[in-house]
Amino acid sequence: MSDRQQRYVIVTGGSQGIGLAAVQKLAAQGSHIVIASRNQQVSAQAIAKVKATTPGAQIEALPLDLASFTSVREFAAVYKSKGYPLHVLINNAGGMIYGKQARFSPDGFELTLQTNHLGHFLLTDLFLDLLTASAPARVVNVSSQTHIPGFGGGPPPDLDLDNLKAEKYYNAAVFYKNVKLITMWFTYEMQRRVAGSGVTSNAMCPGFVPQSIGERRTNPLSRFMYLQVLARMPFARSLEQASTSLAYTATDPAMEGVGGKFIVDCKEKRSSDESYDEQKARKMWDMSRQWCGLH
Ligand SMILES: NC(=O)c1ccc[n+]([C@@H]2O[C@H](COP(=O)([O-])OP(=O)(O)OC[C@H]3O[C@@H](n4cnc5c(N)ncnc54)[C@H](OP(=O)(O)O)[C@@H]3O)[C@@H](O)[C@H]2O)c1
């Protein structure tokens, strides 16, 4: 991208939480932002917030539901019909799907898997031609350090390919850690495949951000715990810190041409040993292509 060319950025889940905080930063840098999420009323409120701090912000919203392959394809078609280039794709939307029972997308996949990974896998594939044509370009996948066994406590990831649809058991936290491990494989495998094309693929973890989790809590005690207690803990990250790191991975000149990294607090960090298993990454790539109907 030349200095004078405007940067075009898609942020999935850019309407709330860490995504919105990053959108604020990228809009202030002068990037053209497209917020991609489901609730267009919430997106409109997000746009108003951004324009309040950056009056000249180039920002719009388009509907996207990552839990529907049809919606992902429609989103990509609408974006492309606008004739925009694409310099940065931030695959941020998602999170843990709370509950004792697994839930499933209309496409038949467990919702954590489809929202966090499969929807983004298809989205990235559909945009790879445009990213390559717009190069230098970056794909940033928001993962989580909780994919590293022992990090943050609780049971480690336990990716059982025979249990992807929760036939054997379901644990929301374990399924979340599994999908964030899959995100690491996707990131590294993509980097191996796009190397030399001018497109890079990196993953980042925003850290534990009680502010964004607390905002979504309806239970007053739980809200208080996240917003007033956990947010003050030394291991917590503020929305400001988390979004600084996300914006760093997405646009900082220090990351230009750098791919295949895991970024935490604006620094490279080693991800789990398993995340570097190239055979598993290739297998997951092939399976994801098949599941997304890509041939
Ligand atoms: N918060 C943390 O402590 C933490 C820690 C590590 C990693 N992360 C990761 O950081 C990312 C952002 O987390 P957050 O806490 O900022 O989340 P958040 O506040 O819950 O925001 C989630 C965003 O994703 C959108 N979204 C949710 N489901 C979607 C779907 N099916 N299709 C399209 N958009 C969807 C939401 O908008 P709509 O509801 O309108 O669609 C919203 O804009 C996630 O990937 C999460 O796993 C978070």
**Segment 261-289, tens digit of pLDDT:** 999 999 999 999 999 999 999 999 999 99
Residue 196 Cα to ligand 1 midpoint, Å, equals 31
C-alpha closest to that of 114 among 139, 93, 128: 93
- Report which protein residue has its CA nearest ligand 1's atom 18: 17
Rounded to an integer, what distance in angstroms lies between the CA atom of residue 37 and that of residue 47? 12
ω before 136 within 30° of 0 (cis)?
A: yes
Asked if 240 and 17 touch (Cβ cutoff 8 Å), the reply is: no
Overall pTM > 0.75: yes
Residue 144 Cα to ligand 1 midpoint, Å, equals 12
Q: Which residues line ligand 1 (CB under 6 A)?
A: 12-13, 15-19, 37-39, 42, 64-67, 92-95, 115, 142, 144, 205-206, 208-209, 212-213, 216
pLDDT value of residue 127: 98
> For the chain, where are the E strands, in sequence order?
8-12, 32-37, 58-63, 88-91, 137-142, 199-205, 262-264, 267-268
pLDDT value of residue 3: 52
98 part of the active site: no
User: Which residues in the chain land under pLDDT 50?
Assistant: none
pLDDT tens-digit map of 6-55: 999 999 999 999 999 999 999 999 999 999 999 999 999 999 999 999 99
Residue 177 Cα to ligand 1 midpoint, Å, equals 15
Q: Which among 8, 79, 170, 176 is annotated as catalytic?
A: 176
CATH topology of domain 8-209+239-290: Rossmann fold (3.40.50)
| Number of neighbouring beta carbons within 10 Å of residue 294 | 12
pLDDT value of residue 295: 79
Domain boundaries, the chain: 8-209+239-290
Residue 25 Cα to ligand 1 midpoint, Å, equals 17
DSSP string over 270-292:
---GGGG-HHHHHHHHHHHHHHT
pLDDT value of residue 273: 98
pLDDT value of residue 9: 98
